[in-house]
Amino acid sequence: MTEIILSTENLKKSFVMSKTRKVEAVKGISFDVKRGEVFGFLGPNGAGKSTTISMVTTQLKPTSGNIFIDGKSILESPAMARRKIGVVAQHNNLDRGLTARENLIYHAKYFGIDDKTANKRADEYLEKFGLTDRQNDYVKSYSGGMAQRLKIARAIMHNPEILFLDEPTTGLDPSYRAILWEQMLALNKTGTTIFLTTHYMEEPEQLADRIAIVDQGELKAIGTVDELKALIPSKNIISIKLARLDPKFVDQAKALPEVKNATITNDVLLLYMKENKPDFNRILEWVNKLDSPLQNISLSASSLDDVFVHLTGKGSVKND
């Protein structure tokens, strides 16, 4: 057993779109995931998250580079890798014509698990994911939340060392998201490494041990939430929404003594403040003198969302 459960080396993937056009979806990504951690893989739409997850779970061949699971190249030993990984895909890839229990048992059989163990695990996971009562119903009768829970149960039937989840909570209501997180963290406590991609910032900010931020196929940053927050210019940010934004406001803001840096992102003027407790009223006075009506102003402590905006120039999807 190695301390690093997953490692990628200069991973690249290009898609040929036409005779003249190629998309470089992943442009040479290298990172390590430590055994036992919850690892968040974040990025805006089209950043290359799904392409990366498809490659590290043996579903897609890289154009170049290498991937190691538990120290062994998955390009050389894909079958070995598949035994060590569990995958919860973004789409519903359950067998809808089978019952929930049958989905679990067939998955276990595929991995050569004997009937007794498979049935015992199916009982345990159906119970754990609150599906015991509906275990003999066809999956086509399942709600989205139930199907999502069954996908996770199925993915862990063969006791994977690392569980990959692609946007596991997208489209679920907040209470289901909380339940899923509880279940993922409980699995993590038993030693399973969790690798997940998500759009939502609040979840990994609170729950992931380390986070990688990707954009346009490149790794922008990797670290703990605190390490990532240290990448942005200030702990306190004032966000200002004006009826009309003029680039000259950025220079004017930068000249204010209490402002460390300023930028316009997503049509919002962001002021990175020097002081821990900035004088909000003084900034408000300055804003009111600008020749553009104020629509909204707020002061906040920096969050992962601000790191994301700072590194990618794009907003994330907020939790509702």
Ligand X SMILES: Nc1ncnc2c1ncn2[C@@H]1O[C@H](COP(=O)(O)OP(=O)(O)OP(=O)(O)O)[C@@H](O)[C@H]1O
Number of residues that bind ligand X (CB under 6 A): 11
Q: Which is nearer to ligand X, 161 or 203 (CB)?
A: 203
The DSSP-derived string for 140-163 is GG--HHHHHHHHHHHHTTT--SEE
Segment interacting with ligand X (CB under 6 A) among 40-48, 64-72, 201-209, 220-228: 40-48
Closest contact distance (angstroms) between CB of 139 and ligand X is 24
215 and 209 Cβ atoms separated by less than 8 Å: no
Query: Hey, which residues does 117 pair with through a beta bridge?
Result: none
Closest contact distance (angstroms) between CB of 162 and ligand X is 19
Closest contact distance (angstroms) between CB of 194 and ligand X is 18
Backbone angles phi, psi at 152, to 5 degrees: -70, -45
SS3 per-residue string spanning 167-205 = CCCCCCCHHHHHHHHHHHHHHHHCCCEEEEEECECHHHH
SS3 74: coil
- By CB under 6 A, residue 61 contacts ligand X: no
Segment interacting with ligand X (CB under 6 A) among 42-50, 226-234, 244-252, 254-262: 42-50
Closest contact distance (angstroms) between CB of 43 and ligand X is 5
Centre a 10 Å sphere on the Cβ of residue 265 and count the other Cβ atoms it contains. 15
- By CB under 6 A, residue 113 contacts ligand X: no
- By CB under 6 A, residue 317 contacts ligand X: no
Q: Which is nearer to ligand X, 47 or 287 (CB)?
A: 47
Please tell me the total number of residues recorded for the chain in this structure: 320
| CA-to-CA dists, residue 211 to 68, 71, 90, angstroms | 19, 21, 19
Residue from 22, 46, 140, 266 binding ligand X (CB under 6 A): 46
Segment interacting with ligand X (CB under 6 A) among 39-47, 185-193, 274-282, 284-292: 39-47
Backbone angles phi, psi at 316, to 5 degrees: -100, 180
Which parts of this chain interact with ligand X (CB under 6 A)?
15, 23, 25, 43, 45-51
